[in-house]
Amino acid sequence: MATGGGSQGPEFEVHVLGHPKGGPEGHEGQLGACPFSHRVLLLLEERELPYTVDFVDVARKPDWVTETNPEGTLPILRDCASGQLLHDSDAISDFLEDKYGGGDGKRSLRKLGDCPQPAPQLWPKFLAYLGAEAGSQEEAAARRELEEQLQASPALLP
């Protein structure tokens, strides 16, 4: 496990997608390509909170991951003081904001519900468009739906 944040003992354990020791040669102890894991680590660093990080290989997840989180998703944060486990980067972000937001002279990073969420269907519509067969009616319909999402959120357009 790697450590980060402050210099005192860890306040949190964070389990993120990565390459643990004994993983692929040249990649041991590296963070994986997971924006949700990156987000949680960035929040902990921004708050200068002491934590340990455990890199979890998604192909060889320990049983406890799915036992504590039936979806088996990462990241997972454990509050060392209470033992509370949190799954999902949104829930973790809101928990950290509730516990530390704006305290100790640090600026508030805001809870997810307080942040504008333009076009919540934009990503699914984009993926549908990408997945449609080129030149098909499905592609034309997916393109129209994607354009509607973009038009509904002028802040996303130049």
CA dihedral of 146, 147, 151, 157, whole degrees rounded to 10: 90
Report the distance separating Cα 143 and Cα 130, nearest Å.
9
Report the distance separating Cα 49 and Cα 73, nearest Å.
23
What DSSP designation does 132 have?
S
Q: Where are the beta strands (DSSP E) in 64-123?
A: 76-79, 85-87
CA dihedral of 140, 144, 146, 149, whole degrees rounded to 10: -170
Catalytic pick among 34, 44, 49, 74:
34
CB of 129 closer than 8 Å to CB of 136: no
- Is residue 34 among the annotated active site residues? yes
Beta-carbon contacts of 117 under 8 Å, excluding residues fewer than 6 positions away, are: none
Q: Which residues are catalytic?
A: 34
